[in-house]
Amino acid sequence: MIGRVVATELKPSTPHQFHFWTANETSIGIGAIVRVGQGVGSGDVGSGRTVYGVVTDGFAYSDLATPLHDVIGAEGDPAKAAAAPTVRQEIRYWTAAVLRQIPEEPLQPVPLGHVFVASDIDVAQALRMDGYLHSAAPTAIPIGLYTSGGLEAPVYLDADFLLGPEAAHLNISGVSGLATKTSAVEFLLASMFRHFPAHKGKVAAVCFNVKGPDLCFLDQPGDLSDEDRRRYERLDVPATPFERVHYFAPLKADGVNLNTLRTHPELVDDVTPLTWGLQEVVDYAEVLLNRDDIDAKADAFIDFLRDRVLGKSFDDGFGNSHDVGTFADLERLFRDIFDGLETSGRSDTWRTHHIATMRKVRNRLLNISTRCKGLVTDDGPTSDLPWGAFADRAVYVIDVANVDPLGQDLVFARCVSKLREHLERRDLGVDAVVVFVDELNKYAPGDGPETYVKKMLLDISERGRYLGLVLFGAEQFRSQVHRRVVGNAGTQVFGRMDMDELATPGYQVLSPATKIKLATLPVGELMVRHPHFTQPIFVRFPKPPVLRGRDGMERFPAAVDLPFEDAVARQLVQLDRRVRPNQVKDLIADRTEEDVRRALAAVRQKRPEDALAYFRKQLGGRVAVDAPRERRAVPPLNPITDEPY
Amino acid sequence: MTWWDALVRAGAVPAAYVPPASLGRTDVDEGAEPGADLVEGDKVEVHAVDPAPAPPACFLDGIEQWKVVGYDGVLPIIRAYVAAAVRRRGDDRRPRTAFEAARDFAIAPLAGMAPERRRALTDHCPDVVEISIEEGTQPGRVLELARRAVDSARQTLERDLAERCLARLGDTEWLVVDGLLSVSGKLAGHPRALGVIKSHGAQFFTGADLERALTVAAAHRTSVFRARGGHARNEVYSWYLRLWPWEGNDLLYGLLRIEARAAAATIAAATATSGWLLAERAPIATPDVRWDRLLYPIHDVETYLRARAPRDLLASRASRLPRTGT
């Protein structure tokens, strides 16, 4: 027993709040879970009621009537005050918010009674975890350990409320640089993969790495302390890195070096280039073209291209047949149409589309491959995520940290759209996908223009839970993220917060003491709100079992970009260990980079048994260059003279 | 069922009257005319006192509460509660309860009560103190007798507790009693027992000596004298000690009278003893209005006892207007 409930006329107990006092030296603090015992003391006779609460505020005061009396007693000398023969009586007085009352009905004020530190079982009862922890089909996923006064009790989230269908999504806020947001998500993913109930099917995660090397080493073990390992054991989560991690990154503008920080020779083999062509991009033209570009006429023409031209055999009306699959094919189509219109002297319209609209769309579309060079190819095969073949408990990291914002938008929009399409059709390979997006302040701000990415995030937030498409979002300032994105997150997690942020209206429900605790939260501690918890709960989570980005960069520093020939050779060697770099270099000598890139992409896509032979075939035979014919000079009619005129 | 409920069932008229006299203890001098024999010097002199560190000490105080819970005719039936405690100050300078005792009892003029009410009271209340009255005694007189009975019960409790404490007092430990030391022979004879008297109903000096005694400056003490008469049932030495300057307040402001064993050692140690009592000015015993004379550890004992006393003996803050709608 650590305290006793007290209620006065000025501060009475209510059904949702009570007050109690403890000894001056006590183990509890803000966030501690306590149980009010039944049947002891006056006022609770016959109530048979057990109340669980979480400490939200604490007060200490003495019987000093006014500070002036302390001054008088010490004769103005603070040293004398400290030397007084008797220490004043003082109190530790706590306010607790009710988590749960048993029985729940009728809801009554908290009775007077003894206060106890909550045990493991109490914590489960208080947080209503008993319903999903001990049910026939448990859906509990550990998020951390509640620790107070030497007690350490696991805290579980309900998978039905984290990944749907009851509620879904998780939002995590916190200041940058305190190893909380990303670490918490990494730990939670590990926990989820271990505890995701079998009856709910398969689950995977798609993580967008949007800054630095944060998520680049999820398959590498990190340094864990004994304390961390003990916590993993307590939570029954393996303290090992993720077993199935697949990395995807666009290429750099040279088309052969990967645009990621995971380029260390020991790791780069696991990174799959992400390259898309016209077919992949045209559906998301809206992402890449701004509002001024896409008027109704341009939109109609793009639809026409999408529906009638792309991937089909198409007659341009001037006697040319086109099979448009790449940007290069599209360019040929436009050229033939414009030439045809010009030579035939027909009007300025082609199939009801005005030539000016067509020229505008042509410029904008063909410009995409330039603006997103490395991600979008003009020509050749593409490389993509394994849509339809997602593996259970696998993490798919898409590294767009070094991609320009436009490319990031395109990657995000297309990946999420594809996830949604496949989940709707139930042919993704897994039943639920967690999409982790950091920097929601950038991608889903509360104000600013309505971007395609923001619309996508809103769509996931509002409808994703029915599909199994779950958003784990992170940001620094929750108040500046779109209300519907954070509002739809069933689980809210808070790391250390900035005081200015805590002063915003969204945090008014928190007590001043809770805010102070949030503003000074140590690394590895979180405040969690979950539909089953009636009050926020503080938990500790162990350091993630993976190599942190910064540490990873020290252990596996990124390789410098290779010269074109070496980069091509390395990629072919990765695909087929029998290939010798010199063979490749000889093969591509004197060949245009465009041709080499196209051939390499074809090999990557086909993954033939004999990579070098296939590469050679794709390159085709060398075409001898004709020597320029000598031009015979024609003498001028009038020889040049010295005459100036 | 409480004994006062049983009394009401037997025909007594219920009451809830807390007389003003019940609100606190009194140190009214009811003995013989007090007097003093100086044992330190030939006349009352004033000695400067420097604050000094306090030795290990226990502090004793008692409280009393009573109220009229019924009437048999016009005779008041009283419920009384007295309690006392000794709180020992530890090395951490925090007081903790070492001894405590309480008594909850009835006071009634049994002889004047109707037989059925008397029987109801004696049957249901195990602790009844009878007060003797003559036929036709006024109710007010009964209340005065009740007050004395309560006072006496409280003093008995304090004395018993003090003697229990003395039996277990450490070698260097002192017992500081709120009130008279002279009420107990054991207390009055103990070398490390002190009585601290805040009320000055009894004046031991006259003339110039009185003036010197009552105008002693702050952080000064008077000469030691043997207290005579008054309530002094056992011989003790005594002196006045001023804790706070009285100028600008009243003559008795901050003035304590200390009682100690009647021995030469007491005279020798009077200044040193006064020194550590002076140091007890801090912390100030606010919000008690008597803070200028109330040592904080004594205040602490009183606060402890009041916190544990029955709440229904306190005067109700609610209106005493007749209830309506019944």
Question: For A151-274+383-554, which CATH superfamily applies?
Answer: P-loop containing nucleotide triphosphate hydrolases (3.40.50.300)
Residue B23 covered by a domain: no
Write down the pLDDT at residue A42.
44
Least confident of A44-58, A95-109, B38-52: A44-58
Chain A residues touching residue B284 (CB < 8 angstroms) = 69-70, 72-73
Cβ pairs bridging A and B (under 8 Å): 53
Interface of B with A (CB under 8 A): 53-54, 89, 92-95, 276, 279-284, 286-287, 296-297, 300, 303
Distance from B97 to chain A by nearest Cα, in Å?
13
Tell me which residues of chain A, numbers 18 to 77, contact chain B at a CB-CB cutoff of 8 Å: 63-66, 69-70, 72-74
Residue B25 covered by a domain: no
Higher pLDDT, A453 or A388: A388
Chain B residues touching residue A70 (CB < 8 angstroms) = 283-284
Nearest beta carbon to residue B282 from set A63, A66, A74: A74
| Nearest C-alpha in A relative to B280 | A85
Residue A306 DSSP class: I
Write down the pLDDT at residue A565.
87
Q: What is the pLDDT of residues A598-616, one digit of tens each?
A: 788 788 777 888 888 888 8
Burial A581-603 (b: 16+ CB within 10 A, else e): eeebeebbeeeeeeebbbbbbbb
B101: nearest Cα among B57, B126, B68, B64 = B64
CB A460 within 8 A of CB A435: yes
Residue A391 has pLDDT above 50, yes or no: yes
Global confidence as pTM: 0.80
Question: Going by DSSP bridges, is the β-strand pair A395-399/A203-209 parallel, antiparallel, or unpaired?
Answer: parallel
Write down the pLDDT at residue A631.
66
Which of B278, B296, B301 to substitute to test the interface with A, most A CBs within 10 Å? Answer: B296
Distance from A74 to chain B by nearest Cα, in Å?
6
Do residue A85 and residue B280 have CB atoms under 8 angstroms apart? yes
Higher pLDDT, A570 or B215: B215
> Partners of A436 in the beta sheet?
A207, A472
Do residue A85 and residue B89 have CB atoms under 8 angstroms apart? yes
Task: Kindly indicate the confidence band of residue A80, based on its pLDDT and cuts at 50, 70 and 90.
Answer: confident
Write down the pLDDT at residue B248.
92
Write down the pLDDT at residue A625.
62
Write down the pLDDT at residue A45.
43
CB B178 within 8 A of CB B196: yes
Task: Output the average pLDDT for chain B.
Answer: 90
Write down the pLDDT at residue A597.
82
Does residue A8 sit at the B interface (CB-CB below 8 Å)? no
Chain A residues touching residue B276 (CB < 8 angstroms) = 85
Q: What is the pLDDT of residues A270-293, one digit of tens each?
A: 899 898 888 888 878 777 776 666
Nearest beta carbon to residue B300 from set A64, A69, A89: A89
Write down the pLDDT at residue B24.
60
Do residue B286 and residue A84 have CB atoms under 8 angstroms apart? no
Domain that holds residue B9: 3-17+31-311
Residue B320 covered by a domain: no
Which of A86, A88, A92 to substitute to test the interface with B, most B CBs within 10 Å? Answer: A86
Do residue B283 and residue A65 have CB atoms under 8 angstroms apart? no
B245: nearest Cα among B235, B255, B258 = B255
Higher pLDDT, A378 or A82: A82
CB B106 within 8 A of CB B127: yes
SS3 A59: strand
Domain count along chain B: 1
Do residue B286 and residue A74 have CB atoms under 8 angstroms apart? no
Do residue B283 and residue A69 have CB atoms under 8 angstroms apart? yes
Write down the pLDDT at residue A297.
85
Distance from A12 to chain B by nearest Cα, in Å?
18
Task: Kindly indicate the confidence band of residue A148, based on its pLDDT and cuts at 50, 70 and 90.
Answer: confident
Least confident of A74-78, A85-89, A530-534, B22-26: B22-26
B25-30 contact pairs (CB < 8 A, 24+)? B25/B62, B25/B63, B25/B64, B25/B151, B25/B154, B25/B179, B26/B147, B26/B151, B26/B199, B27/B179, B27/B180, B27/B197, B27/B198, B27/B199, B27/B201, B28/B199, B28/B201, B29/B201, B29/B202, B29/B230, B29/B231, B30/B231
Note the maximum CA span of chain A: 128
Nearest beta carbon to residue B93 from set A63, A64, A85: A85
Do residue B280 and residue A88 have CB atoms under 8 angstroms apart? no
Residue B317 covered by a domain: no
Residue B322 covered by a domain: no
Do residue A86 and residue B53 have CB atoms under 8 angstroms apart? no
Q: What is the pLDDT of residues A178-220, one digit of tens each?
A: 768 999 999 999 999 999 999 999 999 999 998 888 899 999 9
Nearest beta carbon to residue B89 from set A66, A86, A88: A86
| Nearest C-alpha in B relative to A77 | B282
Write down the pLDDT at residue B26.
57
Query: To the nearest whole percent, how much of chain A has pLDDT over 90?
Result: 45
Least confident of A69-83, A366-380, A505-519, B144-158: A366-380
Q: How far apart are CA A302 and CA A365, in angstroms?
A: 9
Residue B148 has pLDDT above 80, yes or no: yes
Question: Going by DSSP bridges, is the β-strand pair A170-173/A491-494 parallel, antiparallel, or unpaired?
Answer: parallel
Do residue B93 and residue A86 have CB atoms under 8 angstroms apart? yes
Chain B residues touching residue A63 (CB < 8 angstroms) = 286-287, 303
Q: What is the pLDDT of residues A303-355, one digit of tens each?
A: 888 888 888 888 888 888 888 888 888 888 998 888 888 888 767 888 888 88
CATH 3.40.50.300 in chain A, residue ranges: 151-274+383-554
Task: Kindly indicate the confidence band of residue A589, based on its pLDDT and cuts at 50, 70 and 90.
Answer: confident
Write down the pLDDT at residue A360.
87
Nearest beta carbon to residue B284 from set A72, A80, A85: A72
Residue A40 has pLDDT above 50, yes or no: no
Q: What is the pLDDT of residues B17-39, one digit of tens each?
A: 888 766 665 555 555 677 888 99
Q: How far apart are CA A129 and CA B181, in angstroms?
A: 63
Do residue A80 and residue B282 have CB atoms under 8 angstroms apart? yes
Q: How far apart are CA A181 and CA A211, in angstroms?
A: 13
Do residue B94 and residue A87 have CB atoms under 8 angstroms apart? yes
Do residue B286 and residue A66 have CB atoms under 8 angstroms apart? yes
State the Rg of chain A over Cα.
33
ipTM score here? 0.82
Do residue B286 and residue A64 have CB atoms under 8 angstroms apart? yes
Do residue B296 and residue A74 have CB atoms under 8 angstroms apart? no
Distance from B146 to chain A by nearest Cα, in Å?
31
Residue A154 has pLDDT above 80, yes or no: yes
Chain A residues touching residue B280 (CB < 8 angstroms) = 85-86
Write down the pLDDT at residue A316.
83
Write down the pLDDT at residue B170.
92
Task: Output the average pLDDT for chain A.
Answer: 87
Query: To the nearest whole percent, how much of chain B has pLDDT over 70?
Result: 91
Residue A644 has pLDDT above 60, yes or no: no
Nearest beta carbon to residue A73 from set B94, B283, B303: B283
CB B79 within 8 A of CB B106: yes
Q: How far apart are CA A612 and CA B112, in angstroms?
A: 125
Chain B residues touching residue A21 (CB < 8 angstroms) = none
| Nearest C-alpha in A relative to B282 | A73
| Nearest C-alpha in A relative to B55 | A85
SS3 A482: coil
Chain A residues touching residue B56 (CB < 8 angstroms) = none
Write down the pLDDT at residue B96.
94
Task: Kindly indicate the confidence band of residue A588, based on its pLDDT and cuts at 50, 70 and 90.
Answer: confident
Q: How far apart are CA B289 and CA A424, in angstroms?
A: 78
Residue B321 covered by a domain: no
Chain A residues touching residue B92 (CB < 8 angstroms) = 87
Distance from A38 to chain B by nearest Cα, in Å?
22
Residue A481 DSSP class: B
Backbone conformation region of residue A149, classed left if phi is above 0, alpha if psi is from -120 to 50, else beta: left
**Residues constituting chain A:** 645
Q: What is the pLDDT of residues B244-301, one digit of tens each?
A: 999 999 999 999 999 999 999 999 999 999 999 999 998 999 888 899 999 999 999 9
Do residue B89 and residue A69 have CB atoms under 8 angstroms apart? no
Virtual torsion, Cα A186, A189, A194, A195, nearest 10 deg: 130
Residue A51 DSSP class: E
